[in-house]
Amino acid sequence: MLLAETSRTPAPAAAPDAEDWRELASCRGVASSVFFSPDGERGHARARREANAQQICQDCPVLAQCRDHALAADEPYGIWGGMTEADRRRHARRLRSDSHR
């Protein structure tokens, strides 16, 4: 059932909020299997899938927002903002190491 609209005036254009970046991502509509590994994936198959995912991320207009989200949320799986799981772990170790100096 549809509710009757109370106003015909369009909402003013607003700056995108923190979650709107996902709507603009280059990966929108791409199968999640490109970005997340199946159980047991190793070696060349994993490297090939990760390279394909990173290629999609390369020119993404919201790459920085995606990467920032993954780092802030400590995403444990998948390619986010062009970073693999291992890339994010290395980044976190570097930050911890730098903060102890």
Backbone dihedral angles phi then psi of residue 35, each to the nearest 5 degrees: -105, -20
26 vs 43: CA distance, rounded Å: 26
88 vs 71: CA distance, rounded Å: 7
Q: Please give the pLDDT value at position 2.
A: 42
32 is in an annotated binding site: no
27 is in an annotated binding site: yes
Q: Tens of pLDDT along 20-50?
A: 999 999 999 999 999 999 999 999 999 999 9
58 is in an annotated binding site: no
Q: Please, what's the b/e burial string for 61-90 (b: 16 or more CB within 10 A of its CB; e: otherwise)?
A: ebbebbbebbbeeebeebbbbbbbbebbee
Say which residues have a Cβ less than 8 Å from residue 60's Cβ, sequence separation at least 6.
25, 26, 27, 66, 82
9 is in an annotated binding site: no
Q: Please give the pLDDT value at position 96.
A: 86
Q: Tens of pLDDT along 44-74?
A: 999 999 999 999 999 999 999 999 999 999 9
Predicted TM-score (pTM) of the model is 0.76
